């Protein structure tokens, strides 16, 4: 079938970027001398307005923050007299927990006093402003808010009345706080440098507020542990007294006051505990510069004085364009659909770190200069000789470090296209293209292994490192593991030392995080930034053109697409080698996902019947799987004393809690939609359910206390229900099946659709809201389903969900909509969890063909086949295909996320839908309306024409149609 194919590009700004002054200075101390720690409590009603909070001003003494002053803050005017009296009494009677030389009174400030007397002065004292989940607490203090220039929230903390009308307006002499959320765990927070007063008579320049430093402990702990913790869990993790066992009521009573005070006490203790851990890392940036585990990895590379990749690659645009064109993410696919098979899950150990080591990428990263010489002859020769056996020779892997321009003809290569008619997806399929496309070396080798034929190579370049950087230094990982950039390969050393420090769980775990966070993501860090019609030069493979775009992808400091592209490609080669080994043993697999696969396997080799009379498949014996696993020992690039055995591991799920080998079964619907389970005579137990496409919905039930799986319990129940249904086992309908499906969102970024709404619960920054999932054809009459997205204030009371009052975010004059299970044309028919799961289990694997060679449909089952893709030309050049910073269901902006598409200036191509409509209209109708015959022919052949001409043609089409 013909498809539009989407390929990534490297871009360079043509207009110079305006350098914004850095908010952080190099000479600022890692930990400031003072810290202001606070926590706010809010009403539990939808608007979540501030009630009161506690704060502590601490001083750094003997590397611990010691409380010097403590106080309570309360909302300016929403408290009742009784509530205020309670706080006043508490402030008078409670003893502050301050140092002996600290303030001996517990302060009681209103919100505005707190802003002026505490927060404002703390900013001037250059204190670290510390919260746990800063976005929520800072926004409780805000009296107003606007959209910041960077697309984040600009929080107004101080207001004054207009002299004429008395209406409040922002105090321009007090800094605003800007919160730009990057994802659900990280935000860039800074205060603006507002003038402190009117310019004086002597000096025209007014003194400016210093820039405050904000530390969100949740983010810092995420950077250190690669897990998102609540305050309660974080306290448990760092073994300090945590939160009180109390459910917030939204009132101001003694219990609530003690609860809040304990939160601030816990946050202070947590700050000291986290500081102690962070100080183990001999890195220069302060804790407020740690945005993710990758920040820590990048800081270590800086400590090792590795030069940024952009400085060692000359004339990078064209090779970067080639690398980006050949860049694809991990491979995920389902091979056997809607059919139960016995499986043995396996996975590659530290896959990306291992690939880096095999390809010798550390040499590339630490070289003085990287060049991309022509290697067409060498690559053709390599491909003509390559076999699976050669791929197990790890000395050959550095030769796989090349990119080649391939004219594909039924070669098995990664193809990014819209398989299902709505979203882009990557499939490893048979590709044919009349024009050549760049691919990474390991992908081409994988194609040779799987097809047995050599793709047609037009030209090739290799990635050649020259020399070694002279300034490389050594450092100590977490203060305990010495690493010398001159002697050790960073990737290899981290994995080896992780194994060597098995007895130190904290270090062992952190080295695991470092191995994954420092091996890949930083080399393809691109941060999309909104920028009005910026001129860009786009490089993608052989093509380069100038265009304008409203979104610019700003590369990170460690951006090195030639490395990133080879890493993911190397990962796919490992999977292809595994696939080839399985095929050679006449077996197959249920699914694969980036670094793991589930091989169809039973204790003894056996035939497994397949549906609809198709040929049975073979389940490999456990011993055969072990042989395949052992074969990968040859690729172990590590010190065998420290990391013995194969890089492919039989997953620990294959053993039960008594360490007895057990038979697992698997059932897969589509890529990343599968469950593994154990089976007895007439019962099953779900062992590993995949939460993909389910996990972002608000759980219809809470997991019980002490639940220690990462996946919530309701996902287990959902898969249990699906699998039992498939196997015809007795099943009971979970109690939550009739609940409406809701997505919980946090208003962490301003949404343009909410700008016009009056200030309220649905517009306050960092407030929560729910997004009911509307059933297909469930919109009320007279609304456009494409512009109908409902939101409603958040409620954790699931019984109340059906009574939610919703508004449409696309209509700022939206009426209030009610939800229903029975459609009546006025109310909105909402999807419930039963409908969700019914649809979930028939989701087709669109990128594959069914056993009959036809496209995979909802009822396709059995062994799937690779699709045959013929590329439409020209290709579509794109930026990031999805905003990986946000998971689905985290931010409202993601609902409207569109991949950046770099359009060739002045030219345009009709899409499939337009061509279909054009084909229905006689040509003379276009000519009558002034469309040139040659232009029309070009449009029909999908050739680029001037955008204005295509628009004219579409206007003529619309005129004819309507």
Partner 1 sequence: MSDQSPIRTARRTVLREERIGDAAFCLFCGYACLEALTLVSRKWLEANGISQSRLDRLVQEHHIIGYAHDPDLTMTLCLNCHKEITEGLAREGVSMRPEKNLRMLIALVFRASAVLFERLASSYRKWARLLENQDEL
Site of interaction with partner 1 (CB under 8 A): 33-34, 36, 57, 59, 68-69, 101-105, 117-118, 121-122, 124-127
> The sheet that has 742-746: what strands, in order across it?
742-746, 768-772, 790-793, 805-808, 817-820, 828-829
Q: Are strands 742-746 and 768-772 parallel, antiparallel or unpaired?
A: antiparallel
Q: Would you say 59 or 631 has its CB closer to partner 1?
A: 59
Q: How far is the CB of 288 from partner 1 (least distance, A)?
A: 17
Of 157 and 779, the one with the shorter C-beta distance to partner 1 is 157
Residue 662 region by backbone torsions, left for phi larger than 0, else alpha for psi between -120 and 50, else beta = beta
Q: Can you tell me the distance from the alpha carbon of 867 to that of 751, in angstroms, rounded to the nearest whole number? A: 39
Nearer to partner 1, 96 or 700 (CB): 96
In residues, how long is the chain? 962
Name which of 128, 51, 138, 54 is nearest 98 in CA terms.
54
CB of 100 vs partner 1, minimal distance in Å? 8
Residues 320/403, Cβ–Cβ less than 8 Å: no
Give the residue with the Cβ less far from partner 1, 128 or 743.
Answer: 128
Q: Which is nearer to partner 1, 122 or 957 (CB)?
A: 122
Q: Give me the residues paired with residue 216 across strands.
A: 131
DSSP secondary structure code for residue 239 in this structure: T
Considering the complex, what minimum distance in angstroms separates the CB of residue 173 from partner 1? 16
Nearest residue (CB) to partner 1, 169 versus 207: 207
Q: Which is nearer to partner 1, 33 or 639 (CB)?
A: 33
**Nearer Cβ to partner 1, position 66 or 590?**
66
Which residue number, 118 or 804, has a Cβ lying nearer to partner 1? Answer: 118
**DSSP designation for 223:** H
C-alpha atoms less than 13 angstroms from C-alpha of 253 in its C-beta half-sphere? 7
Q: Tell me the three state secondary structure of residue 459.
A: strand
| Residues in CB range of 355: below 8 A, 6 or more apart | 361, 566, 567, 570, 571, 574
Residue 34 or 960 with smaller CB distance to partner 1 = 34
Provide, rounded to whole angstroms, the least separation between the CB of residue 284 and partner 1: 20
Report d(CA 712, CA 795) in Å as an integer.
19
Closer CB to partner 1, 34 or 737, in the complex? 34
Enumerate long-range contacts of 879-884, CB under 8 Å, 24 or more apart.
879/8, 879/9, 879/11, 879/526, 879/528, 879/551, 879/553, 880/526, 880/528, 880/553, 881/6, 881/8, 881/416, 881/424, 883/528
Least distance from C-beta 466 to partner 1, angstroms?
A: 46
Min dist. Cβ of residue 99 to partner 1 (A): 9
Paired tokens of 12: 């360079």
Minimum CB distance to partner 1, residue 159 (Å): 22
Q: How far is the CB of 473 from partner 1 (least distance, A)?
A: 29
Q: What's the burial of 617, exposed, middle or buried (CB within 10 Å: 0-12/13-18/19+)?
A: buried
For 163, phi then psi, to 5°, come to -60, -35
- Rounded to 5 degrees, what are φ and ψ at 654? -70, -5
CA distance 427 to 418: 10
Residue 191 CB, nearest approach to partner 1 (Å): 15
Q: Strands of 588-682 (E only): list them.
A: 589-593, 596-602, 606-608, 617-621, 648-650, 664-670, 673-680
Q: How far is the CB of 121 from partner 1 (least distance, A)?
A: 5
- State the minimum distance, in angstroms, from the CB of residue 126 to partner 1: 5
259 φψ region: left (φ > 0), alpha (ψ -120 to 50), beta (else): alpha
- The residues pairing with 215 across neighbouring beta strands, listed in sequence order, are 130
In angstroms, what is the minimal distance from the CB of 25 to partner 1? 13
What secondary structure, in 3-state letters, does 318-332 show?
Answer: HHHHHHHHCCCCCCE
For residue 631, what are the contacts with CB-CB under 8 A and spacing of at least 6? 392, 581, 646
**Pick 95 or 659: Cβ nearer partner 1:** 95
Pairing of strands 589-593, 596-602: antiparallel
Spatial CA neighbour of 342 closest among 666, 629, 660, 652: 666
Q: How far is the CB of 124 from partner 1 (least distance, A)?
A: 5
Closest separation in Å from C-beta 63 to partner 1: 18
Of 106 and 953, nearer to partner 1 (C-beta) is 106
Closest to partner 1 by CB, 96 or 465: 96
- The residue among 117 and 811 lying less far from partner 1, judged by its C-beta, is 117
**Which two structure tokens, joined as six digits, stand for 360?**
């010798």
**Least Å from the CB of residue 98 to partner 1:** 8
Helix (H, G, I), strand (E, B) or coil at 609: coil
Q: What are residue 155's DSSP bridge partners?
A: 145, 177
* Separation of alpha carbons 566 and 352, rounded Å: 10
CB of 62 to partner 1, least distance (A): 17
| DSSP annotation string for 463-492 | -EEES--S---EEEETTTEEEETTTS-HHH
R_g of the chain computed on alpha carbons: 30
Pick between residue 34 and residue 823 the one whose CB is nearest to partner 1.
Answer: 34
Partnered with residue 526 across adjacent β-strands are 555
What's the DSSP call for residue 313?
B
No. of helices (H) and no. of strands (E), the chain: 24, 48
Q: Please, which residues have CB within 8 angstroms of residue 247's CB and are 6 or more apart in sequence?
A: none
Least distance between partner 1 and beta carbon 721 (Å): 57
Residue appearing with tokens 């409380």: 67
Residue closer to partner 1 by CB (options 126, 843) is 126
């Amino acid at each position: 079938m013909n498809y539009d194919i989407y390929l990534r590009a490297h871009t360079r700004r043509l207009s110079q970027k305006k350098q914004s002054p850095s908010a952080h200075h190099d000479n600022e101390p890692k930990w400031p001398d003072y810290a202001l720690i606070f926590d706010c409590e809010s009403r539990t009603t939808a608007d979540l307005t501030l009630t009161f909070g506690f704060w502590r001003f601490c001083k750094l003494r003997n590397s611990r923050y010691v409380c010097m002053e403590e106080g309570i803050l309360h909302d300016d005017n929403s408290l009742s007299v009784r509530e205020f009296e309670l706080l006043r009494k508490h402030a008078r009677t409670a003893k502050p927990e301050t140092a002996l030389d600290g303030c001996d009174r517990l302060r009681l400030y209103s919100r505005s006093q707190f802003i002026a007397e505490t927060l404002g002065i703390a900013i001037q004292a250059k204190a670290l402003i510390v919260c746990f989940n800063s976005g929520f607490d800072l926004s409780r203090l805000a009296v107003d808010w606007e959209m910041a220039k960077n697309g984040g929230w600009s929080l107004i903390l101080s207001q004054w009345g207009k002299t004429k009308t008395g209406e409040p307006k922002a105090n321009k002499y007090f800094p605003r706080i800007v919160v730009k959320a990057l994802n659900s765990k990280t935000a860039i927070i800074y205060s603006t440098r507002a003038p402190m007063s009117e310019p004086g008579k002597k000096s025209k320049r007014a003194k400016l507020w210093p820039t405050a430093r904000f530390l969100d402990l949740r983010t810092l702990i995420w950077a250190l542990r690669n897990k998102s913790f609540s305050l309660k869990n974080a306290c448990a993790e760092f073994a300090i007294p945590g939160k009180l066992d109390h459910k917030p009521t939204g009132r101001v009573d003694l219990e609530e006051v003690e609860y809040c005070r304990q939160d601030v006490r816990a946050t202070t203790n947590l700050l000291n505990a986290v500081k102690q851990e962070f100080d183990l890392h001999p890195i220069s940036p302060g804790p407020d510069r740690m945005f993710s585990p990758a920040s820590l990895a990048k800081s270590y590379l800086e400590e090792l004085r590795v030069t940024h990749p952009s400085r060692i690659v000359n004339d990078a645009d064209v090779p970067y364009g080639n690398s980006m064109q050949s860049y694809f993410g991990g491979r995920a696919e389902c091979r056997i659909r809607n059919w139960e098979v016995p499986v043995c899950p396996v996975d590659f150990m530290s896959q990306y770190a291992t690939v880096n080591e095999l390809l010798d990428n550390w040499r590339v990263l630490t070289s003085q200069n990287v060049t991309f010489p022509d290697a067409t002859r060498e690559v053709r020769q390599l491909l003509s000789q390559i076999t699976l056996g050669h791929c197990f020779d790890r000395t050959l892997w550095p030769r796989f470090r090349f990119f080649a321009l391939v004219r594909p003809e039924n070669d098995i290569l990664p193809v990014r296209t819209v398989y299902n008619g709505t979203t882009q997806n990557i499939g490893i399929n048979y590709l044919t293209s009349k024009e050549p496309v760049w691919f990474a070396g390991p992908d081409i080798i994988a194609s040779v292994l799987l097809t047995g034929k050599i793709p047609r190579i037009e030209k090739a370049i290799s990635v050649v490192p020259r020399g070694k950087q002279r300034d490389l230094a050594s450092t100590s990982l977490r203060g305990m593991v010495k690493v010398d950039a001159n002697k050790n390969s960073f990737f290899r050393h981290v994995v080896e030392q992780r194994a060597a420090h098995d007895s130190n769980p904290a270090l062992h775990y952190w080295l695991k995080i470092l191995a994954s966070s420092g091996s890949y993501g930083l080399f393809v860090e691109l941060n999309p930034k909104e920028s009005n019609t910026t001129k860009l030069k786009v490089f993608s493979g052989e093509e380069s053109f100038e265009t304008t775009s409203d979104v610019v992808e700003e590369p990170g400091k460690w951006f090195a697409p030639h490395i990133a592209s080879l890493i993911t490609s190397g990962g796919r080669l490992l999977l292809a080698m595994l696939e080839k080994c399985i095929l050679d043993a006449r077996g197959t697999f249920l699914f694969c996902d980036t670094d793991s696969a589930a091989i169809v396997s039973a204790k003894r080799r056996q035939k497994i019947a397949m549906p609809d009379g198709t040929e049975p498949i073979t389940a490999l014996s456990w011993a055969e799987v072990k042989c395949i696993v052992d074969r990968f020992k040859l690729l172990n690039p590590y010190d065998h004393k420290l990391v013995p055995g194969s890089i492919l591991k039989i997953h620990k799920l294959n053993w039960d809690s008594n360490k007895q080998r057990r038979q697992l079964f698997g059932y897969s619907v589509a890529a990343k939609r599968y469950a593994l389970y154990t089976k007895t005579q007439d019962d099953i137990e779900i062992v590993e359910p995949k939460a993909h496409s389910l996990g972002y919905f608000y759980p219809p039930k809470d997991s019980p206390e002490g639940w220690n799986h990462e996946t919530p319990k309701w996902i287990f129940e959902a898969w249990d229900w699906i699998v039992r249904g498939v196997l015809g086992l007795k099943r009971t309908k979970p109690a939550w099946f009739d609940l409406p499906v809701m997505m919980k969102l946090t208003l962490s970024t301003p949404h343009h659709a909410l700008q016009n709404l009056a200030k309220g619960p649905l517009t306050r920054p960092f407030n929560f809201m729910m997004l009911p999932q509307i059933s297909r054809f469930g919109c009320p009459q007279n609304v456009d389903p494409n512009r109908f997205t409902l939101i409603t204030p958040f409620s954790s009371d699931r019984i109340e969900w059906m009574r939610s009052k919703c508004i449409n975010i696309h209509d700022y004059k939206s009426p209030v909509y009610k939800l229903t299970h029975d459609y009546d044309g006025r109310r909105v028919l909402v999807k419930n969890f039963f409908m969700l799961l019914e649809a979930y289990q028939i989701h087709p694997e669109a990128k594959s063909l069914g056993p009959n060679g036809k496209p995979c449909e909802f009822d396709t089952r059995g062994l799937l086949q690779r699709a045959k893709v013929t590329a439409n030309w020209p290709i579509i050049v794109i930026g990031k295909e999805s905003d990986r910073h946000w998971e689905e269901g985290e931010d409202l902006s993601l609902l409207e996320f569109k991949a950046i598409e770099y359009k060739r200036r002045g030219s345009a191509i009709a899409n499939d839908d337009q061509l279909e409509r054009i084909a229905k209209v006689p040509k003379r109708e276009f000519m009558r309306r002034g469309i040139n015959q040659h232009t029309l022919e070009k449009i029909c052949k999908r050739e680029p024409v001037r955008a204005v001409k295509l628009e004219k043609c579409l206007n003529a089409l619309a005129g004819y149609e309507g």
